[in-house]
Structure 1
Amino acid sequence: MSGLTARRTYALLAAMQAGDAVACIGPIPPIKAALDAVGLPEDLRPVLPVVKAASAVGLLSVYRFPKLARLTTFMLTVYFVLAVGSHLRARDYSPGLVAASSFLTVFGVMTVKGPDTE
């Protein structure tokens, strides 16, 4: 068992995704600034809280449906590939790029390893 395969890690990341979903509802000013910086159209922004809330549920499924949790980490990897690409396309070399790159790495590794099943 490693830290990234532990069920507790999935639960922690689910809590983070849920908090991020709530923060995106408004969105709060720092998130609005980040979305403006990468040029995300206003009409796509309402989708973000839904996607993030769904990912939180998917990550929490690790306790009962580990394969669904693994699919969720794969989909989050795709999400963060798109996020990193958006930052690079916009030439936005802010801390948001570092965060998106870090989450891309974390969810990519989690997808490859899969969750602990015990």
Structure 2
Amino acid sequence: MPILADPIWPVALLATIQYVDAAVCWRPVDAVRRCLDDVHAPPLVRRLLTPIKIAAGSGLLLGLVVPYLGVLTCAALVAYFAIAVTMHIRARDLGRNFRNAAALGLTSALVSLCYL
């Protein structure tokens, strides 16, 4: 089956970011734990982060051969990061973590263009 996304490097990079993020959320490093504490993330959200991020990385890579899945995954990531940005705004946490969430949301939107 041919690879349909072009170029593929942004897709691969965003998938890698999602997998690495899933790994650091599995047993949160101090920076991740502080970020989650700062936005008052409930325990259920914390438990769901790793599977969500693994699913996102997998959806992005599978989207290389099933483009609508890649676009759908990017849309889900934009929604995910919109929620993250909202949580940071509500917590008045407008520093680096807020900027990271906003940048990854924008990146997810731009990566969706690789599938079109």
Task: Please confirm whether the aligned pair reaches a TM-score higher than 0.5, indicating the same fold.
Answer: yes
Shift of 1:43: 2.9
Q: TM-score w.r.t. structure 2 length? A: 0.89
| 1:89-117 per-position Cα deviation (integer Å, ceiling 9, x unaligned) | 00001200001111111112333x3426x
C-alpha separation in 2, matches of 1:19 and 1:110: 18
AA of the residue aligned to 1:53 = I
**Dislocated runs of 4+, deviation >3 Å:** none
CA contact (8 A) 2:7 2:114 kept: no
**How many residue pairs get matched?**
112
Instruction: Please list every run of 5 or more consecutive structure 2 residues that lacks an aligned counterpart in the other structure.
Output: 1-5
SS at match of 1:64: coil
Read off the aligned partner of 2:35 and give its amino acid letter: A
Question: Which digits, 9 at most, give the CA deviation of each residue in 1:68-104, with x for residues without a partner?
Answer: 0110000000001000000000000120000111111
1:61 has 2:62 as partner: yes
Displacement of 1:63 after TM fit? 2.3
Deviations 1:4-56 (A, max 9, x none): x5212101110110010010011111100000000001232110000000000
Identity of aligned residues (%): 32
Q: 1:115 is matched with which residue?
A: 115
Segments of 5+ residues of structure 1 without an aligned counterpart are: none
1:105 aligns with 2:102: no
Distance, in Å, in 1 between the alignment partners of 2:108 and 2:16 is: 15
Query: Aligned Cα RMSD in Å?
Result: 1.6
The whole-number CA distance in structure 1 between the counterparts of 2:114 and 2:86 is 25
Aligned to 1:16: 17
Please list, as runs of the form range in 1=range in 2, the aligned pairs for 1:30-41 lying within 5 A after superposition. Answer: 30-41=31-42
